[in-house]
Amino acid sequence: MKASKRYHPSREFSQKAHVRSMGAYRKLYQQALDTPEEFWGAQAEREIHWFQKWSHVFEWNPPFAKWFVGAKTNISYNCLDRHLSTWRKNRAAIIWEGEPGDQQVLTYQELHRRVCRFANVLKGLGLKAGDTSIIYMPMIPALPIAMLACARLGIAHSVVFGGFSAEALKTRIQDLEAKVVITADGGWRRGREIHLKATADEALADCPTVKDVVVCRRTGHEVAMHAGRDHWWHELEQSVSEVCEAEVLDSETPLFVLYTSGTTGKPKGIVHTTGGYMVEVACTMKWVFDLREEDTYWCAADIGWVTGHSYIVYGPLMEGATTVIYEGAPDYPQPDRIWRIIEKYKVNILYTSPTAIRAFIKNGEQWPRKHDLSSLRLLGSVGEPINPAAWEWYHKVIGHERCPIVDTWWQTETGSIMISPMPGAIPTKPGSATVPLPGIVADVVDLDGNTVEPGKEGFLIIRRAWPAMFRTLYRDPQRYGDQYWRRIPGNYLTGDAARRDKDGYFWILGRVDDVMNVSGHRLSTMELESALVRHPAVAEAAVVARPHEITGQAVVAFVTLKHGGGDGKDLVEELRSWVGHEIGSFAKPEQIRFVESLPKTRSGKIMRRLLREIVTTDKVAGDITTLEDLSVISRLSSQQEEES
């Protein structure tokens, strides 16, 4: 934190930005702080089409909120219909590329037609406003079409990540009591076919609320179709109209439910509603990504996560942007697939995860250097704190030292980005998400809710409600209040540890659960991992704690080396000494394990929980349904047995 260098936006970038200076940011922030209802009302009028205006902007009965009370709107209308009377009707809304190389470009006009057709399919199955749906699909155009069709009719959707198992899918269907499941025969990932319909059939064996299953044909392989329940998407579409008016919905109509991974206990259903979510997601698309009319924007996440909801589908389409969607792995069939796509479609804005960036580092600079990345003008990071070494590589190798980086902090629960630079206004520091966006009152506190001193570690909280906030946990309002709002009364407890420096910049340290105590010293996984990856031989590192009878906890580091990084055995003592120099001798890992790869979700997050299980119990017993590559766990477990 102390040694961090500042990077200022270029004069050229700032002159064209939506927010052009620190002074302009402070003015916006102060307006939102002093007169929040007036501020958000003005944003809502500018960004969103309303069929009926609100009676008042905000209603707060802790821990429950309502935004734009009494207003009527529809997010599908705001993503599609309102653009059709403008030049955007013939603009590319979605540029899609499948992993095998097939492509589609959908203009706003064509996307509107396809959404209306599918909405009429759902109507034909008897579905209506207030019903619930499960969407279990690969990253193909039919996925956002299904989401927008559900939203058009007021059917709350729950997108289930295509990597989830039948058991995980079943749990979500049962909790939501979904009437329809929308899926596909399969999808492609790393050259292999993912058999989604077969997984759905296994889950549906114990889901009596589901009356209909709509199956999109993607891979073309033969699948079992249950008479009376299962329908081919393309067959149902043949006889329906391309005209379907958007339902006039209350601002607080549930839009979607996103479930946590369910690694412990019952999955939490995060409920987001319509009006407030729309307003803040639309604002953050401009504030954070500084969208321009000519931009081609790519959020390289999966729509199964909230990042994909807010910043692949709803945010870009509300703003009339061109959003890129890619089906497969960013390093398949070669490590330059992501750079090929950027060059091919002249992508201007790239939003990806720190884990992906570290994987790119491991693969080597030669892959991006093969491609013309000059179209890029802004880079983004999402999903977990980005270590400064990865930030610097991203800045130099991908951004060629001319692209601002927006390191964003937010959560499934928050709905939209909360802490992030405005790229034309705010100087950045590698590793810091910088400052809260307008309307977000963030603080770092102790367990009594008292603000801690600059540089001290504490709990990250949000002191005021915000428009895109989740409204409750599905069918569990008590847990919603107890877990998030009552531990530090009246404040939203994020579950993340953080520090704030003397400039007011926030440094997110990761989940509170990822903070360890070694000989009385509190250490965050991010601090230790950042120290390790600063070593020139290290590509990635994941750090976990295991019990120690003397120090309380001991540090175990899992390390992958860069190509040509040397022999791991010779590096053990060097890396331990390196960490001692960077942080202190108390932080030296007791054990360093060199591995080929780390266990990650398909969204790119390192699953430290699994590593913790391996070092504490010698086995993995928890849920691994989100794991990208199951063989990683097998290799790690075998290594553990050998070392034991």
Residue range 89-108, pLDDT digits in tens: 999 999 999 999 999 999 99
Of the listed ranges 245-254, 265-274, 412-421, the one predicted with least confidence: 265-274
Residue 145, SS3 per DSSP? helix
Mean pLDDT calculated for residue range 140-144: 98
Residue 474, burial from CB neighbour count under 10 angstroms (0-12, 13-18, 19+): buried
| pTM as predicted | 0.86
CB 490 within 8 A of CB 475: no
Residues 6+ apart with CB under 8 A from 479: 268, 473
Residue 510, SS3 per DSSP? strand
CB 403 within 8 A of CB 391: no
CB 241 within 8 A of CB 224: no
Classify strands 230-232 and 212-216 as parallel, antiparallel or unpaired.
parallel
Q: Does residue 39 carry a pLDDT above 50?
A: yes
DSSP assignments along 253-285, one per residue: SEEEEEE---SSSSPPEEEEESHHHHHHHHHHH
Q: Does residue 492 carry a pLDDT above 50?
A: yes
The structure tokens listed for 554 are 């001991």
Count the helices and strands in the chain (H runs, E runs): 21, 30
Phi, psi at 611, each rounded to 5°? -65, -40
Mean pLDDT calculated for residue range 464-476: 97
Phi, psi at 531, each rounded to 5°? -60, -45
Band (pLDDT 50/70/90 cuts) for residue 506 is very high
Q: Does residue 412 carry a pLDDT above 60?
A: yes
What is the per-residue pLDDT for 625? Answer: 61
Q: How far apart are CA 53 and CA 179, in angstroms?
A: 32
The ranges assigned to domains in the chain are 519-643
Each residue's pLDDT tens digit, 254-307: 999 999 754 345 678 999 999 999 999 999 999 999 999 999 999 999 999 999
Q: Does residue 214 carry a pLDDT above 60?
A: yes
What is the per-residue pLDDT for 385? Answer: 86
From residue 628, alpha-carbon distances to 5, 300, 605, 632 in Å are 35, 15, 10, 9
Residue 16, burial from CB neighbour count under 10 angstroms (0-12, 13-18, 19+): exposed
Residues 6+ apart with CB under 8 A from 235: none
From residue 267, alpha-carbon distances to 155, 257, 505 in Å are 21, 11, 33
| Homologous superfamily of the 519-643 domain (CATH) | ANL, C-terminal domain (3.30.300.30)
Of the listed ranges 340-354, 405-419, 480-494, 536-550, the one predicted with least confidence: 536-550
